[in-house]
Structure 1
Amino acid sequence: MSNPYAEIFRAPGASGFAAAGFLARMPIAMAPIGIVAMLSQTQGEYWLAGAVSAVFALGNALISPQISRAVDRLGQARILIPTTAIAAIAFVLLILAANQSWPVWTLFASALLAALMPSFPAMVRARWSDLFRDRPELNTAFAFESAADELVYIAGASLSVGLSVTLFPEAGLLVSTLLLVLGATAFVVQRSTEPKVRSSSEVSGGSAIWLRPVQIVTLALVFVGATFATAEVSAVAITEHLGQPGAASLVIGVYAVGSFLVGLIIGALNLKMALQRQLAIALAVLAVTAWPLPFVSTVPMLALAVFLSGIAISPTFITAFGLIEQRVPAAMLTEGITWVMTGIGIGMALGSFVTGWVVDTYGPTNGFWVSVVSAILAFMTVLFGQKTLAGSRMRTAAEPSLHAAE
């Protein structure tokens, strides 16, 4: 039996842009928790750390779809170079503001400017879609990307916290910035796999967010994103409360291990069940496994509960991005994928702030109630949207249907 993952990497240039995209997306995991770890140590207040992290995540969630929309119209290289440069400079300013005790407003201003960081997971998935559109290999490619996202959270979030705790507070965010610059540079120079720029007749004047499937999936992932932020902020707070702050990186890393493995298995199986049903099942599992989290009292219990709660994340990503690829016109794909990432970013922003407030007010373990509520709301959103998600792809006037092409 052939290895489906080996098959997708036989495409010319696939391994190159996938590797570069992996490095470039590391700040998605490293930057938000790196900001929390840095400011909680330098400023001593979780609410401020959570608020600045939320400004970055929420700003990125709102700005990145506009960046991706420009990419669909002008091409990846023309947009990614200036936006990445601005974001990298802003991260450096944020580090200096924390290290030199600049006024609080400079923390928020630099975090907002750093939000111009492009959505590299969307850029990579757009390249996979360009290679394998309407072919079964695309599902495997999306499964690989979802597993890669989980690996980013395994390596990125834990690395960011570990560096900040063991070296110096700014270490996690500093390394995140270096990886952004390195990965983005390596990604942009690979022009042979860059998706072609659509002609003006192929590009709709509207935004992908006005499509109902995009709205449903994005809203569901707002709640999923909140579960991410809850796990990260609560893990840092609980391990510090238990006198083992260094264990936070291990707990955060464990969160994604189960999901990473399950995602690889699903990608290899290439399930035939309708994607909207797979998404509902994955979110139901997420809701059920979130319940034990508020009741943990030791680091081993925390690690086990977090491991179990993470097994549904990668299947959620695979099906969510697969639905977007199936339901969104090709000329709007990068923007459509980015809106899904936006949902995660908004959820992380709101979840980070709310969880930080709950931790400060009611204690470390109670922050996980945000995760419980969020998982239930994600499941209900997709459950009530099943009929819409089961529809067919909308196409632009210049994009022929499959039947017409035949």
Structure 2
Amino acid sequence: MIPLFAANFLGRMTGGMAPLGITLFLRSHDHGFGFIGLVLAVYQLSSATGGPLLGRAVDRFGQVPVLCGSALGAAAGYVLLVGSGGDNRQAALAAVMLAGLLAPPLEPCLRSLWPNVLAKPELVATAYALDASLQEIIFIVGPLLIVLAGELAGQGTALLLTAVLMLLGTAAYALPHRAVRAWRGLPHQPDWAGPLRSTVLRRFVLAMVGVGVGLGALNIGTVAYEEHVGQPGLSGVLLGTFAGSSLVGGLVYGVVRWRIAPAGRLPWLMSGSSLGFALMISVPRPALALVLTAAAGLFLSPVMACGFSLISEHVPNGTATEAFAWMATAVTAGNALGAYLAGLAVQQGGLRAVFVLPVVAALAAALVALTLGRAARGGPRLPEPRPVSEAVR
């Protein structure tokens, strides 16, 4: 399973590289934070739109054709962005829209694959926790790779590296592994709402939008903070610290024997990160900023792992990939909103204003998560809808 993990994570490195890479590429061409926030919002919203559509296609047609086709299209978007030279705003918006819309759904594909390759339910739960923890490596290594590649070869080359790693990882995951090639979604009666028929999923998706807002604000806020203190490369270090702390939090979460159901844990986990963000409003010195960023990141992986378990227990059969894609879409949509609002906040209210956003977003997400308990007690799964002819009889 290690090669499967490694290949999937290599392809997913785009998630840790692209937002910062796009930001630094456009800043190197003297674009303001307002426009950069708009570009990141378009990129994230495109990814949020494409994720469930590609997830539904995977549930219907399998993983390999959807992953390979979408990876090629997304790579073309990054090439178009670099080819535009960063000077043509319309071309930049079109490029990030293409790259986001066709971002290969590697995360939901891996998570829907585990029940097929792991025989015991407890092993599947362990795989979810391990996935949530190890994915933070993407957000540790990704920003550092962008900063390093940008320093050595320029910001355009850094974005092209993002596309290359995505293509290599997707191919290494989709083509050599028999389990991936053979995977098919469980038979089910098609329904236009898909997994969103689940009340639990709908509420959980709304709560995860708040998590995404905090992450989007952090991407902009770290670059603005870097410029404020005059330390080039600090944004990548801060984002890497946040992700490293999240990895530690996820590993701790995975070894704890929880007596509280996932729906009961989630509000506490979502509210935990707000304290670190709240203290960042004071714009501390870099050393303290690293500590506070780590404190905020400690709860991210536990939130994600808890969400994976919640989804696996409360969505209709045959909709797993799309359901996991909706989780990613919620985070991505929130990320887009957070990036856009953070760009405006930097311009209109200064650096302090940008760190207010993740505090408010985390608390709002926790409030929505409080409503999950009653919905979860309604039953673990929805029955598959019967065909019309059967229902009439």
Q: Do these two structures clear the TM 0.5 threshold for a shared fold by scoring above it?
A: yes
Give the partner amino acid of 1:233: I
Residue 317 (structure 2) pairs with residue 330 (structure 1): yes
| Cα distance change of structure 1 residues 263 and 390 upon mapping to structure 2, 3 Å threshold | farther
1:147–1:263: 8 Å Cα contact kept in structure 2? yes
- Tell me the alpha carbon deviations over residues 86-114 of structure 1, each in whole angstroms, 9 at most, x when there is no partner: 11111110111135x3x211111111111
Residue 183 (1) aligns with residue 164 (2): no
- Residue 107 (structure 1) aligned with residue 92 (structure 2): yes
Tell me, what secondary structure is at the counterpart of 2:258? coil
Q: Name the counterpart of 2:139.
A: 153
C-alpha offsets along residues 257-277 of structure 1, whole Å, 9 cap, x if unaligned? 121012112223343321111
For residue 330 of structure 2, what is the amino acid of its counterpart?
G
Moved more, 122-131 or 180-189: 122-131
Query: Could you tell me how far apart the structure 1 residues matched to 2:185 and 2:233 are?
Result: 49
Distance in 2 between the 1:390 and 1:311 partners? 28
TM-score (norm 1): 0.90
Match for residue 206 of structure 1?
A: 193
The 2-side partners of 1:269 and 1:57 are apart by 33
**What secondary structure, in the 3-state scheme, does the structure 2 residue paired with 1:303 have?**
helix
Contact 2:186 2:317 in 1 (8 A): no
1:254 maps to which residue?
241
Helix, strand or coil at the partner of 1:181: helix
Distance in 1 (CA, whole Å) between partners of 2:284 and 2:354 is: 13
Unaligned runs of 5+ in 1: 1-13, 400-406
Alignment CA distance shift 1:296-1:77 (3 Å) = same
Task: Return the match for 1:32 from 8, 11, 19.
Answer: 19
Q: How does 1:61-76 map to 2 (within 5 A)?
A: 61-76=48-63
Aligned-CA RMSD value: 2.0
Deviation sequence 1:181-206 (CA, Å, 0-9, x none)? 00000011134222632465555453
Contact 1:146/1:317 (8 A) holds in 2: yes
- Distance in 2 (CA, whole Å) between partners of 1:68 and 1:357 is 32
1:315 Cα deviation after fit: 0.4
Runs of 4+ in 1 over 3 A off after TM superposition: 198-206, 395-399
Q: Which amino acid aligns with 1:317?
A: M
Stretch of structure 1 that moved more, 30-39 or 312-321: 30-39
* CA–CA distance in structure 2, aligned partners of residues 256 and 318 of structure 1: 15
Q: Distance in 2 between matches of 1:153 and 1:348?
A: 14
Higher deviation after alignment, 125-134 or 365-374: 125-134
Correspondence 1:271 to 2:220: no
Residues 197-346 of structure 1 mapped to structure 2, 5 A cutoff: 197-198=184-185, 201=188, 203-346=190-333
Unaligned runs of 5+ in 2: 387-393
Aligned mates of 1:96, 1:187 — CA distance in 2 = 28
- Other-structure match for 1:169: 155
Alignment equivalent of 1:363, drawn from 350, 353, 365: 350
For the residues of structure 2 that align with 1:275 and 1:199, how far apart are their CA atoms? 24
Distance in 2 of aligned mates of 1:392 and 1:153: 35
Other structure's SS at 1:44 match: coil
Structure 2 counterpart of 1:6: none
Distance 1:168 1:334 in 2: 37
Contact 1:287–1:379 (Cα < 8 Å) also in 2: no
Distance 1:50 1:76 in 2: 32
Distance 1:206 1:370 in 2: 31
Q: CA deviation at 1:161?
A: 3.6
Residue aligned with 2:23, SS: helix
Task: Quickly say closer, same or farther: Cα 1:44–1:213, change in 2 above 3 A.
Answer: same
Q: Who is 1:403 aligned against?
A: none
Overall identity of the aligned pairs, in %: 26
**Partners of 2:362 and 2:384 in 1: CA distance:** 38
